[in-house]
Amino acid sequence: MTQETAKKVFDILLSSIRMNGFTDIGTFVIDRTAKDQEFEEFHSNYEYVNTERAILNLEKLSSNPNYTFYALSRLVEAGLEYFNLASKIPERYAFRMNNLTSQQRIKYKINMQGINEETINIDEKLRSKKIQLVINFLEKIRIGLDMDDKTFLKSF
């Protein structure tokens, strides 16, 4: 992928993420572990890198040709982490529930009571195949980073 295409793809992803209310992905851009000094001490230039700031920093970085690929790769990895973790919540929940007792395995579900007393099936929404489609899309971009532009665009 050329740098110009990488920048365009970055802008496409970020604008869709913002437009559709998925900026939570930005939290998964923040460094996993803080620098020791920042973590242990409270000094005058201490700065929280919050979700919005993480996205803005990444956007700025993407405009620097030397870091465009890095920024795109970080955004894709953050998206994959967000959607993979979200889609595994029902399975992890059921596993933990079954872990409580040694009784027969039960298919535990997550339901929510809505404001109008209706039942919102959280479990079903998080098990939806629609999430897998987003994950597949992001995985294609991850692979495409190492392809030429033509092959990359053909892969969709």
Partner 1 sequence: MSLQNLKTQFDTLLSNLNASGTLNFASTVEAGYEALTLAEVMNEYKKVYGKILHVTTPSSNKFLNQSPGRFRVERSFKIEFSSGLVFYFAADIEVFGLGALREDKPLGILFEADVVVLSEEHIQDILRNFRGFPAPQHIDSAYECKFGQYNKGQLRELLGLRRHLSYLSPSNSTATLLFNEWVRHSNPPIALKMVRPRTHIFYDIQTAKLYDLEQIIV
Residues of this chain that bind partner 1 (CB under 8 A): 5, 8-9, 12-13, 15-17, 19-24, 27-28, 30, 32-34, 38-40, 42, 46, 48-52, 82, 85-86, 89-90, 92-93, 96-97, 99-101, 108-115, 118-120, 122-123, 125-126, 128, 130-131, 133-134, 137, 153-154, 156
Q: How far is the CB of 144 from partner 1 (least distance, A)?
A: 10
> Quick one: how far is CA 2 from the chain centroid?
24
Instruction: Provide the β-strand partners of residue 94.
Output: none
- Which DSSP symbol is given to 26? G
Cβ-proximal residues to 117 (8 Å cutoff; 6+ apart), any chain: none
Q: How far is the CB of 145 from partner 1 (least distance, A)?
A: 14
In angstroms, give the least distance from the CB of 106 to partner 1.
9
Tell me whether residue 64 or residue 151 sits nearer to partner 1 (CB atom).
151
Decide: helix, strand or coil at residue 137. Answer: helix
Q: Please, which residue, 66 or 107, has the CB nearer to partner 1?
A: 107
Count Cα neighbours of 144 within 13 Å in the Cβ-side half-sphere. 23
Distance, in Å, from the CA atom of 146 to the CA atom of 152, rounded to the nearest integer, reads 9
The 3-state DSSP class for residue 111 equals strand
Task: Report the residue number, 34 or 143, with the smaller CB distance to partner 1.
Answer: 34
Report the residue number, 45 or 100, with the smaller CB distance to partner 1: 100
